[in-house]
Structure 1
Amino acid sequence: MKRKIIIALKCIFFIITVFAILYGATIALRRKDSLYKYADFFELAKKDQIDVLFLGSSHTINAVNPAVLYNNYGYTSYNMGGHGSLLQATYWELMEALQYETPEWVVVDAYMLEKNYRYLDDRENNPDASEINTSIEQLHLNMDVWPLNKLKVEAMNDLVQDKDLKREFLFDFIVYHNRWEYITEDDFKSIVGNESRNELFGAEMRYDVETAPYICQRPEDGEVFADETVGMQYLSKIIEECQDREIGILVTFNPFNPETKDIVAANTAGAICNTYGVPYLNMLDGDVIDIYSDLNDRGHLNVTGADKTTRAIGDWLKANAGLVDHRDDEAYAYWEKLSNKYYDEIREKILSEDSLFTKLKALSIGEYGFVLYCNEDSQVFTDEVMKHLIKEIAGSNVIYETPDGPYIMICDPGFNKVYEASGDAALDNVETAMGFMNYRPVEKNFRLFYETDDEETNYLYDEDHVAEDVQLLIFDKNTGEVIDHEYYTSKGGNYGK
């Protein structure tokens, strides 16, 4: 009898060990994109700390920054956007998220409203193979992390028609069992919950600048789709779900460089919102972004475009949503920590960036003060893209006033001031974090820029850099301490150090 018990215990131990190994292997082999994106969502949902869920495609994941929203308004949010997510995928992502958290508001972007095929893998009704492949591939980002349950089965039955493909989403070990050669240390950390995670609450920021946007033909004013699309049906389902649960719902059309069909889609989204009596923020209209400097590419925003879009939504929420500012609440210290980390990274990016254009764009966020000086006859004055950027940052046309320069701009976010001078104009005793500053253009290779109380220190002259025609002086916006001084030569339209 005793021998039988020992054998039984050994069998039980063996079975448990096998299952533990299989479970660990499943977790380790699974691609971590989805877990990386949502790890913080699950932790924060347990604490009931998410006020707003942002839903949509890459036009959401790259356009809305929860760290900016928290830093400027104190509202907590999670960016659920997924690359290539059609509105039917967005609907099911909302349903999955609502199992864990009931936010006060849902903000859903209506991009791709015109899509009119029922299943993501419907190759008969959607001839664009690359679009189908992207939607399916990126659905793993939105779906892998959610547990296998009745809701996930319903979602996959609604989104995918191919049975073999459906099984890959329900039992993702089928897809990832052969990832052994790609496994890293982080894959093993995920077994005990120590994996790397997205530290922007689901968002992703881009830093490149697209300087040649496409200008489309405008449709007729108020033109909408003639027939209902699948995208329209699922936007309606999202609105109805939120209304049934008494969750505030805001529909947006985030800004980017649109085609004609996108403008018609934005009009159609507005018409749907009017039918349901829900608010709508169409950011294709107006001047939320500058399409000549706030795009990463023609379809997506860069970090400054995202900053502007997030603030536009934040302003709307502040005026209409009745949300609580959590910035002085110690219970929300994690939000403060990650928000501060994001701005630390912005400052590091500014100091390490080599491209003058990209550096100026990042500086426009306002984490540092800076002085931009362009010498007489600099190629800046024949560079329309650079002049447009300078105009956008300064908020004036001073850069255009003197064809050959020189030009100076002092941008001081600490005092919320911008000072400019071009040609023979001077600046007298202007207040900045650096002190009360003076500027005098004396001759082509000599100019004065000094503090009123220290006339001996001329910040804009160095005999070793006489040949460089552009200078960038970066200072701490609070203390005025000079952090960096860089020199550029504008040869052939390029700005090299």
Structure 2
Amino acid sequence: MKTKILNFCKAAVFFLLLAVCILAATVVVRRKESSYKYADFFDKAKNDQIDVLFMGSSHVINAVNPATLYRNYGITAYNMGGHGSVMQATYWELIEALDYCKPKWVVVDAYMLEKDYQYLDVMEENADPGDINTSVEQLHLNMDAWPLGRLKIAAVNDLIKDPDKRNQFLFDFIVYHDRWSELDENDYRALTGNADRNQLFGAEMRYDVEKTPVTYPDPQEGALLSGHTVGQEYLRKIIDECQRDGIGVVVTYLPFCADTDDKIAANSAGAVAGEYGVPYINMLDKDIIDIRTDLNDTGHLNASGAEKVSRFLGQWLTDNADLADHRGDASYSDWQNKADAYYGSISDMAASEDDLYTELELLSLNEVSGIVYFNQGSGAFHDDTLRKMVSNIAGTDTIYQANGPYILINDVGSGKTYEAFDDGFLGGVPTAMGNLIYQPVEARFRFLYAEENEEMNYLYDDEHADFDIQVITYDPASGEVLTHRYYRSYGNRYRTD
């Protein structure tokens, strides 16, 4: 009898250790994108610290920055957007999220409302196999982080038709078991819960500038989608779910280079919102961003655009949603720390970026002070995107009056900007660098110095005499020069050598 008990215990220990090893292997080999995105969601939801959920596609990921919302309004929001998320995927992501938290408001973006298919692994008739594979692959970002349970099973059954593909989401070891050759330190840190995590509460910022944005004709006034779509059905389900739970809901259509069909879908989103009496914000119709400065590509915003959209939404929520301002509350210190870290990174990037467009985009966020100088004859005066970016920083259209030279001083510490062009000069303008004097002299020679140090001419040295563009960044408080970059223009291209 004792032998049987001993053997049973040995077997039980063996199978327990085996189960632990399999579980550990599953955690290690799983791709970390989903857990990276949602790690802070689970932590903040557990502590009941999420007041707003932002739902939608990559348009949301790149357009709504919770760090901006917290820094400027004290709003605690999580960006739940998923790459390629159609409305039915967004619906199930919301249902999963509501199992962990009850936000006061849900903001759902209606991009891809016109999509009229149920299953992501089938899509439309004659869909391109590559598009189907991408759609299924992108769903892993939404799904992998959620534990296996009744909701996940229901979601996968609703979104995926092929039983084999369903199993890849329910038992993702099937997909990731052969990742051993790709593993790195971060994969193993997942075993202790210390893997890397998204530092922007689910958002992702982009920093390129779309140089050739496009515009499309508007549809006929009042034009709507011609028939009922799956996208509309799931938008209704999202609104229904929020209203049943007593959660405020607002529908948005975020800005990008929308074509005519997109604009019709945006009209239809407003019609659905109107059926339920919920607010609708169509940002295609609002002067919030400038497509010449605020796009990363034709479909997504860059950090400058995200700053503008996030501030707009933050102000709307402040005015309409009756949300608490959590700034100064010690229990929300992680929100403050991550907001501070994000804006600190903007300062660092602005001082280290060597792409002229991106550098000007970062300077427009006003985290670091800057001086922009275009010499007479510079190609910058014929580059509408570049001139618009300078205008974005200055807050004026003065750059469009200039034939050359032109200078802009953006002194963030004082909130003042100073400009001069052609034969104009600046006399002792107060900045953190001192009282700066600017005086053009001839095509390749100009003065910029502080009254306190007349021997230091910032705009001239022999080595860079033939460079036609200069950008200087300096600390807004101390006035310390952080970087001084020189660019040569070649048409609409700019090089530092």
TM-score (norm 2): 0.96
Q: Which amino acid aligns with 2:109?
A: D
C-alpha separation in 2, matches of 1:167 and 1:378: 60
User: 1:60–1:274: structure 2 CA closer, same or farther, 3 Å change rule?
Assistant: same
The within-5 A match list for 1:56-455 is 56-123=56-123, 125=125, 127-403=127-403, 405-455=404-454
Does structure 2 conserve the Cα–Cα contact (< 8 Å) formed by 1:366 and 1:413?
A: yes
1:34-67 Cα distance to aligned partner (Å, 9 max, x none)? 1111111111111111111110001111111111
Q: Which amino acid aligns with 1:245?
A: D
C-alpha separation in 2, matches of 1:401 and 1:283: 30
Does structure 1 conserve the Cα–Cα contact (< 8 Å) formed by 2:364 and 2:392?
A: no
Q: Which amino acid aligns with 1:410?
A: I
1:107-126 Cα distance to aligned partner (Å, 9 max, x none)? 11000000011222224536
Structure 1 residue 478 displacement after superposition: 2.2
Deviates more, 1:214-223 or 1:128-137: 128-137
Query: Is the partner of 1:365 in helix, strand or coil?
Result: coil
Query: Is the partner of 1:284 in helix, strand or coil?
Result: helix
Structure 1 residue 437 displacement after superposition: 2.4
Structure 1 residue 4 displacement after superposition: 3.0
Q: Which amino acid aligns with 1:165?
A: K
Does structure 1 conserve the Cα–Cα contact (< 8 Å) formed by 2:75 and 2:325?
A: yes
1:323-370 Cα distance to aligned partner (Å, 9 max, x none)? 112121111111111112212222222222111111111111111011
C-alpha separation in 2, matches of 1:380 and 1:17: 67
Structure 1 residue 131 displacement after superposition: 3.2
RMSD: 1.6
C-alpha separation in 1, matches of 2:65 and 2:409: 27
The within-5 A match list for 1:2-17 is 2-17=2-17
In the TM superposition, structure 1's runs of 4+ consecutive aligned residues that sit over 4 Å from their partners are none
1:247-280 Cα distance to aligned partner (Å, 9 max, x none)? 1111111111111111111111111111111111
Q: Which amino acid aligns with 1:412?
A: D
Does structure 2 conserve the Cα–Cα contact (< 8 Å) formed by 1:123 and 1:129?
A: no
C-alpha separation in 2, matches of 1:152 and 1:359: 43
User: 1:123–1:445: structure 2 CA closer, same or farther, 3 Å change rule?
Assistant: closer
Structure 1 residue 439 displacement after superposition: 1.8
C-alpha separation in 2, matches of 1:394 and 1:172: 51
Does structure 2 conserve the Cα–Cα contact (< 8 Å) formed by 1:428 and 1:437?
A: yes
C-alpha separation in 2, matches of 1:188 and 1:473: 43
1:263-309 Cα distance to aligned partner (Å, 9 max, x none)? 11111111111111111111111221111121111111111111111
Structure 1 residue 468 displacement after superposition: 1.6
User: 1:227–1:406: structure 2 CA closer, same or farther, 3 Å change rule?
Assistant: same
Gaps of 5+ in 2: none
Does structure 2 conserve the Cα–Cα contact (< 8 Å) formed by 1:187 and 1:195?
A: yes
C-alpha separation in 2, matches of 1:125 and 1:243: 34
C-alpha separation in 1, matches of 2:281 and 2:476: 33
C-alpha separation in 1, matches of 2:188 and 2:440: 62
The within-5 A match list for 1:11-50 is 11-50=11-50
Does structure 1 conserve the Cα–Cα contact (< 8 Å) formed by 2:223 and 2:267?
A: yes
C-alpha separation in 2, matches of 1:433 and 1:326: 32
Q: Which amino acid aligns with 1:131?
A: D
C-alpha separation in 1, matches of 2:297 and 2:316: 26
Match of 2:486 in 1: 487
Query: Is the partner of 2:440 in helix, strand or coil?
Result: strand
User: 1:2–1:279: structure 2 CA closer, same or farther, 3 Å change rule?
Assistant: same
Does structure 1 conserve the Cα–Cα contact (< 8 Å) formed by 2:117 and 2:123?
A: no
Q: Which amino acid aligns with 1:107?
A: V
C-alpha separation in 2, matches of 1:46 and 1:96: 14
Does structure 2 conserve the Cα–Cα contact (< 8 Å) formed by 1:369 and 1:474?
A: yes
Structure 1 residue 479 displacement after superposition: 2.4
C-alpha separation in 1, matches of 2:47 and 2:452: 53
1:100-148 Cα distance to aligned partner (Å, 9 max, x none)? 0111111110000000112222245362433322221111110111111
Does structure 1 conserve the Cα–Cα contact (< 8 Å) formed by 2:363 and 2:393?
A: no
Percent of aligned pairs sharing the same letter: 54
C-alpha separation in 1, matches of 2:217 and 2:27: 49
C-alpha separation in 1, matches of 2:235 and 2:104: 19
C-alpha separation in 2, matches of 1:228 and 1:492: 49
Query: Is the partner of 1:352 in helix, strand or coil?
Result: coil
